């Protein structure tokens, strides 16, 4: 298998942002439904406000049940098929590498040596295909360009922001193909051939790379997050199996819903949403995503320690983060323990880039006081105990 390793599986996710919702109108009713449970006025979702696509995993999921996530999933062998090169009008993989790497090596998910049968297509391409395929499976939204569009407009130039293209498939045809692709991922290439489209890999910008921490060794994933922006967010059609609900929502409002205990978010999603809450518009995000694409993403693995009142998720840049973390877990048998409370740790080790889950109420908080971290947008601090107020 292309993405199955000894300690984890490789996967790809897509952070898809839109500036308006077009014909999608259930948005505010969902917000009203959420906040009707609290004595709090629901935030208003307005046009020209950056929104992100998130889907809710089913309660029966073995991994992150009932949690809102960015669409994504595990890599499939056919994501690395050399047939994609012909479909995308590239003669060699070198052209693709120059387009996405800026001449710099990526994290291990990109740079590791793969078996010969999966070596024809660069990981930078295959993982983008996987993110687009999984987004189609989980939301019914397809980022793709027609062959005619590719012929006329070609690909974007390095350093030029490119907005994503959503390809509209008639409802009946989309449902048929989606069922096939969910059942057998290799059908994604067949669908693209028949529809005469190719996945819009050019509009996906490398954003971050998260490795599941050692706390749950049976379900570990090395996940690359890509970011893409579109003008208008189409309706979301969840698969009613793996995903049971989908919503386009501003990151600050989604964090606000989380702060009231109305939606559940995993630590990586909370961290990324707290970074994305700094952007006021899609244009700002797209410009920054393009500019920072020359910075390859480092692989981040939260390093977990237990303190007196909860679990602390340490991240690179934090004063307590180990210089040489054990990524595989072979040398880590138990979660390291500290006698201090979280607040006492904060006072003793003030340079922070960490999340905290309280034992008492399972509330999540995020604390980052770094002034700079190369290639990264720093997050807005988040605390579920209080109202979330982004600081611009």
Lowest mean pLDDT among 185-189, 299-303, 370-374: 370-374
Which pTM was predicted? Answer: 0.91
Residue 111: C-alpha distances to residues 101, 105, 180, 262 (Å):
10, 6, 31, 39
Q: Are 206 and 296 within 8 A, CB to CB?
A: yes
Helix 187-195 with 171-183: angle, nearest 10 deg: 150
Q: Where in the chain is the domain with CATH 3.90.79.10?
A: 9-294
Per-residue confidence band for 37, with pLDDT thresholds at 50, 70 and 90:
low
The pLDDT score that the predictor gives to residue 113 is: 92
The pLDDT score that the predictor gives to residue 387 is: 43
CATH top-level class for 9-294? alpha beta
The pLDDT score that the predictor gives to residue 23 is: 60
Q: pLDDT per residue over 324-333, tens digit each?
A: 999 998 887 7
Rounded to whole angstroms, the Cα distance separating 72 from 139 reads 10
The pLDDT score that the predictor gives to residue 242 is: 84
| Residue 355 vs residue 364, higher pLDDT | 355
Per-residue confidence band for 389, with pLDDT thresholds at 50, 70 and 90:
very low
Helix 171-183 with 123-139: angle, nearest 10 deg: 120
């Amino acid at each position: 298998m292309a993405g199955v390793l000894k300690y984890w599986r490789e996967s790809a996710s897509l952070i898809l942002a839109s500036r308006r919702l077009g014909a999608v109108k259930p948005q505010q009713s969902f917000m009203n439904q959420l906040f009707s449970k609290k004595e709090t006025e629901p935030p208003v979702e307005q046009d020209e406000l950056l929104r992100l696509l998130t889907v809710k995993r089913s309660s029966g999921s073995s991994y992150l049940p009932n949690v809102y996530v960015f669409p994504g999933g595990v890599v499939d062998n056919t994501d690395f098929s050399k047939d994609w090169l012909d479909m995308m009008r590239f003669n060699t993989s070198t052209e693709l590498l120059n387009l996405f790497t800026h001449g710099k090596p990526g994290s291990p998910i990109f740079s590791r040596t793969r078996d010969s049968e999966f070596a024809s297509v660069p990981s930078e391409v295959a993982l983008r295909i996987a993110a687009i395929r999984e987004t189609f499976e989980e939301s019914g939204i397809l980022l793709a360009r027609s062959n005619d569009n590719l012929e006329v407009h070609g690909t974007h130039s390095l350093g030029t922001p490119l907005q994503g293209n959503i390809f509209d498939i008639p409802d009946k045809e989309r449902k048929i193909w989606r069922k096939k692709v969910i059942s057998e991922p290799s059908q994604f290439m067949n669908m693209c051939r028949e529809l005469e489209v190719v996945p819009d890999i050019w509009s996906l910008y490398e954003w971050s790379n998260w490795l599941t921490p050692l706390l749950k060794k049976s379900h570990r994933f090395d996940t690359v997050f890509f970011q893409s922006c579109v003008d208008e967010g189409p309706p979301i059609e969840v698969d009613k199996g793996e995903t049971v609900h989908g919503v386009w929502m501003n990151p600050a409002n989604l964090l606000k819903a989380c702060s009231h205990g109305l939606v559940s978010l995993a630590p990586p999603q909370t961290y990324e949403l707290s970074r994305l809450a700094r952007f006021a518009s899609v244009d700002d995000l797209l410009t920054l995503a393009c500019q920072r694409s020359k910075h390859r993403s480092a692989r981040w693995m939260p390093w977990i320690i237990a303190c007196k009142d909860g679990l602390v998720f340490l991240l690179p840049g934090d004063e307590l983060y180990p210089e040489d973390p054990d990524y595989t877990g072979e040398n880590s048998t138990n979660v390291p323990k500290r006698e201090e409370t979280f607040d006492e740790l904060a006072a003793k080790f003030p340079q922070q880039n960490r999340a905290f889950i309280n034992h008492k109420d399972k509330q999540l908080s995020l604390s980052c006081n770094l002034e700079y971290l190369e290639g990264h947008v720093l997050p807005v601090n988040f605390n579920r105990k209080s109202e979330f107020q982004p600081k611009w």
